Structure 1
Amino acid sequence: MKYISRQSHKPLILIPVILMIISLLYIGVFGLNQGVELKGGTLATVELKHPMTESEITNLVKDKLKVNDVQTSLSGNTATITVSGDLDAAQFSEMFANDFNVLSFKSVGALLSDAAMGQIAYALIFAFLFMSATVFFVFRDFIPSIAIILSALCNISVAVGGMSLFGIPISIASVGALLMLIGYGVDTDILLTTRLLKRREGTVDDRAEGACKTGIVLSITALASMLVLFIVVKIFIPSAQVLADISAVLVMGLLSDLMSTWLMNLGILKWHIERGGHN
Structure 2
Amino acid sequence: MKLSIVKRYKIFFAITITFLIIGIGSMLFKGFNLGIDFTGGSIMDLEFKNPVTVSQVREVLKEKDLGNAIIQLESSDSNAKSSKGVLIRTGVISDEQRQQVMTDLKSKVGDFAIQRVENVGATVGGELIQQAVMAIVLSWFLMIAYITIRFEFRFALAAIIALIIDVLVTLSYFSLFHMELDSSFVAALLTVVGYSVNGTIVIFDRIRENLKIHRRSESMTEMVDNSIWQTMGRSIYTVGTSLFAVVAIFIWGGETIRNFSFAMLVGFSSGAYTSTFLAGPLWMMLRKLKPGRD
Superposition TM-score, scaled by structure 2 size: 0.71
Residue of structure 1 equivalent to 2:125: 113
Structure 2 residue 190 is matched with structure 1 residue 170: no
Deviations 1:9-53 (A, max 9, x none): 343333223322322221112111222222222354757779978
Residue of structure 2 equivalent to 1:194: 205
Residue of structure 1 equivalent to 2:61: 57
Residue of structure 1 equivalent to 2:139: 127
Residue of structure 2 equivalent to 1:253: 267
* RMSD value, Cα: 3.9
Residue of structure 2 equivalent to 1:181: 192
Residue of structure 2 equivalent to 1:38: 38
Partner of 1:167, secondary structure, is: coil
Inter-CA distance 265–87: structure 2 relative to 1 (3 Å threshold): same
Do the aligned residues in 1 keep the contact of 2:159 with 2:197 (CA within 8 Å)?
Answer: yes
**5+ residue gaps, structure 2:** 73-80
Deviations 1:99-153 (A, max 9, x none): 2646898964258623332322222222222222222232223x32221111111
Question: Highest relative contact order (Cα 8 Å, sep 6+), 1 or 2?
Answer: 1
Q: 1:96 and 1:259 mapped to 2: Cα distance? A: 47
Do the aligned residues in 2 keep the contact of 1:128 with 1:149 (CA within 8 Å)?
Answer: yes
Do the aligned residues in 1 keep the contact of 2:6 with 2:281 (CA within 8 Å)?
Answer: no
Superposition TM-score, scaled by structure 1 size: 0.74
* Amino acid of the structure 1 residue aligned with 2:171: V
Residue of structure 1 equivalent to 2:239: 219
**5+ residue gaps, structure 1:** 63-68
- The aligned length equals 259
* Amino acid of the structure 2 residue aligned with 1:156: V
Equivalent residues in 2 for 1:11-90, closer than 5 Å = 11-44=11-44, 54=58, 56-57=60-61, 71-72=68-69, 81-85=88-92
Do the aligned residues in 1 keep the contact of 2:69 with 2:91 (CA within 8 Å)?
Answer: no
* Amino acid of the structure 2 residue aligned with 1:83: T
The correspondence for 1:264, drawn from 278, 282, 286, is 278
If you compute each CA radius of gyration, which structure gives the higher value, 1 or 2? Answer: 2
Which structure's residues are more often helix, by fraction?
1
Do the aligned residues in 2 keep the contact of 1:13 with 1:265 (CA within 8 Å)?
Answer: no
